[in-house]
Structure 1
């Protein structure tokens, strides 16, 4: 397999971000959720307005994983007040790591995860945290393998459906 590269996403990449975001979310969750709830979430969560706002947020960063110029996954990180919950200035939130299904098992998620840890250390974060759907054993296993431990739960709304996310954190050694 050729070299996978990671690059920071800018406002110029919004269409590509929308495309990879919708596609990976659909691949990951459509089989366990209703068409209506998926449609509602994809329309609001990946709207041009919402992505423009997120891309212009100085406390949020997006990165693409690319292979031969093709986007195969992406990462979204939040800092300080842009974190979805904890809002701890000594923490970094991994809000999203998504990889196209055909690239699962090829270390793309690990490469994006390693980028997140590198940034967390650069920003002198004490820990990294995230929320992962309790019905997503693949992701839970991935984070557990990388040293994360469960510390809480919260509700994630997908359309009309309230789902439980397991909140996990990883203490960093600075």
Structure 2
């Protein structure tokens, strides 16, 4: 039996706009990253919750035409058998980093390498623009995402304890960076 399924990554165009929020599935929050700064270097420990909970981000409602054929921003969608299973949304930031505004993979494809392929696509895009690395932010209670970014070569570069003050569930916003060699 041959492998019929082939993953395709497409740049956003008008025909694909309806697929953008298709990958916005629920995910599990099962632990927290507790950062600590010592002599100018960040480290952290993982603390597991007694009980996991599910959450999802609200669907983004942006002017998606702003991401089509632009030099300073892009949105890539991952497809398997014509079904959208992942996406990454990126911008060229003022600090010469490629800022990842959003990345998501459909629940049933998590752990299958789709997120890695999307990050690779973003890295390629960033290097074409002579950017120095990639950056993103997560909340401290999204341990799964933090572990994924560390596995992809990101390092904790900063912490903000006030950014999410309106949200009682989030203590800290974490800033992750991957500097290109």
**What TM-score range do you get, normalising by the shorter chain?**
0.7 to 0.9
Where 1:76 maps in the other structure, the secondary structure is strand
Residue 83 (structure 1) aligns with: none
* Aligned-pair Cα RMSD in Å: 2.6
For the Cα contact (< 8 Å) 2:97–2:132, is it kept in 1? yes
Distance, in Å, in 2 between the alignment partners of 1:133 and 1:120 is 24
State whether structure 2 residue 31 is matched by structure 1 residue 28. no
For the Cα contact (< 8 Å) 2:164–2:173, is it kept in 1? no
State whether structure 2 residue 164 is matched by structure 1 residue 165. no
Structure 1: state its 5+ residue gaps: 81-86
Higher percent of residues as helix: 1
For the Cα contact (< 8 Å) 1:77–1:92, is it kept in 2? yes
TM-aligned CA distance change 1:29 to 1:61, over 3 Å: farther
Number of residue equivalences: 151
Distance, in Å, in 2 between the alignment partners of 1:29 and 1:157 is 19
State whether structure 2 residue 16 is matched by structure 1 residue 13. yes
For the Cα contact (< 8 Å) 1:131–1:167, is it kept in 2? yes
Residue 60 (structure 2) aligns with: 46
For the Cα contact (< 8 Å) 1:14–1:51, is it kept in 2? no
Distance, in Å, in 2 between the alignment partners of 1:5 and 1:125 is 25
CA offset digits 1:35-64 (Å, max 9, x no partner): xxx7xx62xx522xx243643693221010
Distance, in Å, in 1 between the alignment partners of 2:114 and 2:86 is 7
Residue 97 (structure 1) aligns with: 103
TM-aligned CA distance change 1:153 to 1:32, over 3 Å: farther
Where 1:161 maps in the other structure, the secondary structure is coil
Higher percent of residues as strand: 2
For the Cα contact (< 8 Å) 2:22–2:85, is it kept in 1? no
* Aligned-residue offset at 1:151: 1.1
Give the TM-score taking structure 2 as reference length.
0.72
For the Cα contact (< 8 Å) 2:154–2:176, is it kept in 1? yes
Where 2:111 maps in the other structure, the secondary structure is coil
Residue 35 (structure 2) aligns with: none
Where 1:118 maps in the other structure, the secondary structure is helix
Give the TM-score taking structure 1 as reference length.
0.74
Distance, in Å, in 2 between the alignment partners of 1:107 and 1:72 is 11
Where 1:109 maps in the other structure, the secondary structure is helix
State whether structure 2 residue 74 is matched by structure 1 residue 66. no
Where 2:27 maps in the other structure, the secondary structure is helix
For the Cα contact (< 8 Å) 2:22–2:84, is it kept in 1? no
